[in-house]
Amino acid sequence: MALLVAVASSGSCGVGKAAVAARRTDAGVSSAPRQVSCRRVSTTGVIDCDQHLFESRTLWADYADPNRRDQALQIVDDPAGNAWLEWHGRRMVLADVTVPGETEEVGARLQRALAGEPPARAYDDALPAAYWQPAARLAELDRLGLDEAFLFPNYGLVWEHNLVNDLEATKTNMGAWNRWAVEVAADGRGRLHPVAHLTLRDLDWLDEQLAALAAGGIRLAMIAPALVDGRPLSHPDLDRAWAAFIEHDVAPVFHVANQQRPFDEAWYASDPEPTNPVLSSVFLWVPAALAISDLVVNGVLERRPELRLGVIELSAVWLPMFLMYLDGGVRFVTRLHGKAVADMPLAPSEYVRRQVRVAAFAYERPERLIQRVGDLFMCCSDFPHSEGTAQPLDDYRALDDTTSDPAIAPGLYRDNAAWLLGRGNGA
Task: Report the phi/psi class of residue 116: left, alpha or beta, with left for phi > 0 and alpha for psi in -120 to 50.
Answer: left
Residues comprising the chain, all counted: 427
pLDDT at position 424 is 73
Are 387 and 7 in contact by the 8 Å Cβ rule? The answer is no
Phi, psi of 331 (to 5 degrees): -65, -40
* Residue 316 vs residues 12, 227, 284, 361: alpha-carbon distances, Å: 19, 22, 10, 8
Task: Confirm if 85 and 91 have CB atoms less than 8 A apart.
Answer: yes
Give the integer Cα–Cα distance in Å for 64 and 85.
16
In this structure, are residues 134 and 187 in contact, taking their beta carbons and an 8 Å threshold? yes
Listed in sequence order, the DSSP H helices in 119-263 are 123-126, 134-144, 167-187, 203-215, 239-247
333: helix, coil or strand? helix
What is the distance of C-alpha 348 from the center of its chain?
23
User: Are β-strands 29-30 and 25-26 bridged in parallel, bridged antiparallel, or unpaired?
Assistant: antiparallel
Q: Given this model, what pLDDT does residue 273 score? A: 81
d(CA 217, CA 186): 8
CA distance 202 to 225: 16
Dist. CA 87–CA 46, nearest whole Å: 38
Smallest Cα–Cα separation from 279: which of 271, 289, 287? 271
* Residues of the chain falling short of pLDDT 70: 1-44, 425-427
Instruction: Give the separation between CA 145 and CA 159, rounded to whole angstroms.
Output: 32
Dist CA 378 CA 48 (whole Å): 8
Task: Please tell me whether residue 162 adopts helix, strand or coil conformation.
Answer: helix
Domains of the chain: which residue ranges? 17-55+129-420
Predicted confidence (pLDDT) per residue in 26-56, tens digit: 223 222 333 333 333 334 589 999 999 999 9
Q: Which long-range contacts (CB under 8 A, 24 or more apart) does 67-72 make?
A: 68/168, 68/172, 71/166, 71/168, 71/169, 71/172, 71/173, 72/172, 72/173, 72/176
Contact 377, 31 (CB under 8 A): no
The residues facing 30 across adjacent strands are 25
- CA–CA gap between residue 340 and residue 334 (Å, rounded): 5
Please provide the DSSP assignment of 284-331 as one string.
Answer: TTHHHHHHHHHHHHTTHHHH-TT--EEEESS-STTHHHHHHHHHHHHH
Find out if CATH 3.20.20.140 is the number for domain 17-55+129-420: yes
Sign of CA dihedral 226, 228, 229, 234: negative
**CA Rg value for the chain:** 21
Cβ atoms 347, 374 nearer than 8 A: no
Residue type, 237: D
Q: How many CB atoms lie within 10 A of CB 36?
A: 22
pLDDT at 44: 53
Of 78, 396, 385, 369, whose CA–CA distance to 257 is shortest?
385
